[in-house]
Amino acid sequence: MIVTLIVACEIGFWILLVAGLSLRYLARMPRAGVAVLLLEPVLELVLLIATAIDLKNGATADWKHGLAAVYLGFSVGLGHSTIKWVDQRFAHRFAGGPPPVKPPKYGKERTLHEWKSAGRWILAAVVALGLLQCAVWYVGGSGDISSLRNWQSKMLWVIGINLVIAASYTIWPKQPEKSPS
Domain-embedded: residue 180: no
Q: How many domains does the chain have?
A: 1
Given this model, what pLDDT does residue 158 score? Answer: 98
How many other C-beta atoms lie within 10 A of the C-beta of residue 95? 12
Given this model, what pLDDT does residue 142 score? Answer: 74
C-alpha radius of gyration, the chain, whole number: 20
- Rounded to an integer, the average pLDDT of 33-55 is 93
Domain-embedded: residue 77: yes
Given this model, what pLDDT does residue 181 score? Answer: 65
Domain-embedded: residue 176: no
Domain-embedded: residue 42: yes
Half-sphere exposure (Cβ direction) of 120: Cα atoms closer than 13 Å = 14
Quote the CA–CA distance of 167 and 173 in Å, as a whole number: 9
Measured in residues, the chain has a length of 181
Domain-embedded: residue 19: yes
Q: Which of 180, 130, 179, 134 is nearest to 159 (CA)?
A: 130
pLDDT (tens digit, 9 = 90+) per residue, 68-125? 999 999 999 999 999 999 999 999 999 999 999 999 999 999 999 999 999 999 999 9
Domain-embedded: residue 177: no
Domain-embedded: residue 100: yes
Domain-embedded: residue 120: yes
pLDDT (tens digit, 9 = 90+) per residue, 127-181? 999 999 999 998 887 778 899 999 999 999 999 999 999 999 999 998 888 877 6
Residues spanned by the domain of 54? 2-171
Given this model, what pLDDT does residue 174 score? Answer: 86
Average pLDDT, the chain: 94
Given this model, what pLDDT does residue 99 score? Answer: 96
